[in-house]
Amino acid sequence: MNSLDKIEKVFFDNCLKISNLLKTTNLIDLGKEICLNASGDNMKKLDYDSDKLLYNSLKKLECVKTIVSEEIKDMKLVNQNGKYLVGYDPLDGSSNIDSNVSVGTIFSVFEYDETGFIKNGKNIVLAGYCIYGPSTIMVIADKQNVRLYQYNNKWNLINIKLLPEKGKIYAINESNKYKYDLKINNYIDKLIKKKYTARWVGSLVADVHRTLIKGGVIIYPSNESSPSGKIRLIYEAYPIAFIFENLGGKSLSYDKSILDEEFPYNNIHKKVPIYYFGKKEYEKFTN
């Protein structure tokens, strides 16, 4: 088993443990706030438990040099001679735990270059997410392909074409409509005229997964209340961009691909606005 296979196995194994916690533990208890996390959000009990599962497993791998987590204040050096940085959000959408709405885990694996540096999202060699819904599903991408697995007594590879070139759904929090830039509202009006339908869960993994299955666009822009956006670059925005672009879609933050955003060594919890498009939705945005 090579190094990336070992990292992949950590996420397959521990995401299954997180899924089982959701199925077997009182969701009201799991959704209780226990403190503020390193990036300023309320940490739930399951955020903490999920982080510990992943951190304790990853730090044992000699190939992992550093770890970044939403729940950890600073980047952690765990193996001096490792070649990878692993970033993860242990439980995306955790505000939805007590409501029994789909939540998930998002992760990215960066390879240090020959100088021991990570430039941007193009240093990613593996990325994925696990969504805990009616079924537990893992989507995982390397530089060659994107794979979808569903757990049913074992992880089963599902052969399906992900991210149709054209969809019929857009995802944006329209309650913030009057805080958005005019270009965004004009774009949404254009989609509505083309008979697109709005869907918004509020768990990034849920909105992303629906878009990969049905096509469309996800937008979480900056606004007056969140001028830098709400999505963390290292362990949320980067990995989803890696998946979308691997599938022929597009990602944007400000005016360039999310993968071209500089790695934020001085602010590991940096937030950015995100745009994830299918091919036709991107064409509508740029024309």
Write down the catalytic residue from 51, 70, 245, 261. 70
Residue 240, strand partner residues: none
Strands (E), the chain: 33-36, 42-44, 64-69, 76-77, 84-92, 103-111, 124-132, 136-142, 146-151, 155-158, 169-171, 197-198, 217-220, 231-232, 250-252, 271-272, 274-277
Is position 261 annotated as part of the catalytic site? no
- 70 counts as catalytic: yes
In 10 A of CB 277, how many CB atoms? 25
Q: Under a CB-based contact definition with an 8 Å cutoff, are residues 119 and 262 in contact?
A: yes
8, 51, 92, 281: the catalytic one is: 92
The CA angle 51-57-62, to the nearest 5 degrees, is: 130
In contact, 269 and 70? CB cutoff 8 Å? yes
- The answer to whether residue 62 is catalytic is no
Catalytic residue (choose from 4, 27, 41, 260): 41
22 is catalytic: no
Among 8, 51, 71, 261, the one annotated catalytic? 71
Q: Is 71 a catalytic residue?
A: yes
Is 47 an annotated catalytic residue? yes
Tokens encoding 29 = 């208890």
Asked if 89 is an active-site residue, the reply is yes
Residue pair 110/124 in contact (Cβ under 8 Å)? The answer is: yes
Instruction: Please answer whether residues 172 and 277 qualify as being in contact, where contact means their C-beta atoms are separated by less than 8 angstroms.
Output: no
Given the residues 89, 207, 261, 281, the one annotated as active site = 89
* Active site (annotated) includes residue 51: no
Catalytic residue ranges: 41, 47, 70-71, 89, 91-92, 236
